A and B are shown apart, each in its own frame.
Chain A
Amino acid sequence: MHEVGVAECLIGQAVAAAGAHGLRRVACIGVSVGTHCGVVPHALGFAFSVLRGGTVLADARLEIMAAAGDALRLEWIEGE
């Protein structure tokens, strides 16, 4: 239900990480989503695809990894 807010945070953090590491284009980001974190992966993917435009993530793929508990973590970003 609040996946848009989560996607906004995620994109902000991924953009900051890309800047910190000098990546101009991010191809993929990896996120772990716990079974009890209250986030629906499909809805997060949809929100991400809508909100990523106009950033270094514009073409980025979102790779969601199932995790245990309440994990909700940006694990890595991949780009050049």
Chain B
Amino acid sequence: MRVEVLERILKVNDALAEEVRAALDRAGIVAVNVIGSPGSGKTALLEQTAAVLHPRVRLGVIEGDIATTRDAERLVRCGVPAVQIETRLVGGACHLDASLVRMALARLRLEEIEVLFVENVGNLVCPSAYGLGEHLRVVVASVPEGDDKPAKYPATFARASAVVLNKVDLLPVTDFSMAAFAESLRAVSAAPLFPLSARTGEGLGGWLAWVEAQRADWGRAP
């Protein structure tokens, strides 16, 4: 006999993500899931963001990596409360899931945080399927990766609330086409695009204004 089941396969993750989201909402925190390739500059972007916004906008960071606590240490040096999830300790996962974020939340003082960045494991594929309870998703791409990334990873770019294109200081030494990147992004997403360089600071203003606007829209009133 055939029995209809009709269940989302990751329903366990979905349920935990809802729990995380409820805890964030109670604390008045807007959470941003940051997804990008290894080396795209996710941590560098957060360092620059912290350098300007924190503590006027009180940031917090959960760092996901397969191994090492380096990224969390970089953010702690910026004065931001940061905790590291090392997925090697839980099977070496290629992505964060809601249960890992829930555990990390317990290590942060939520009342001190207005905007929480959750930096996912460097990967443009797997993090896309796992909701973490976040309000927003940001995809960080970078110039050396090439201008075809939105076309090649449509599932990830299609769900972005905003897209950062990092390392624009390298444009003169690459064949990267900004028009081609923008066009392939527009084919899958209407999300705002922030071309910038976390190294030189060029273009950071638009991104920082966007982050601050999200706090006003989702989180506590400033």
Contacts and interface: CB of A to CB of B under 8 A. Distances in A.
Interface in B133-157: 154-155
A13 B5 contact: yes
Tell me what chain B mostly uses at the interface: helix, strand, loop, or mixed. mixed
Contacts, number: 74
B106 interface: no
Interface residues of A, number: 27
Contact of A72 (B1, B2, B8, B95): B8
Given A2-B95, A9-B12, A38 B3 contact: no
Contact of B6 (A5, A9, A74): A74
Given A21-B3, A38-B155, A72 B10 contact: yes
A70 interface: yes
Interface of A: 1-2, 5-6, 9-10, 12-14, 17, 21, 23, 31, 36-39, 70, 72-80
Question: 7 tightest A-B contacts by CB?
Answer: A36-B155, A38-B129, A78-B2, A17-B5, A21-B3, A74-B5, A2-B126
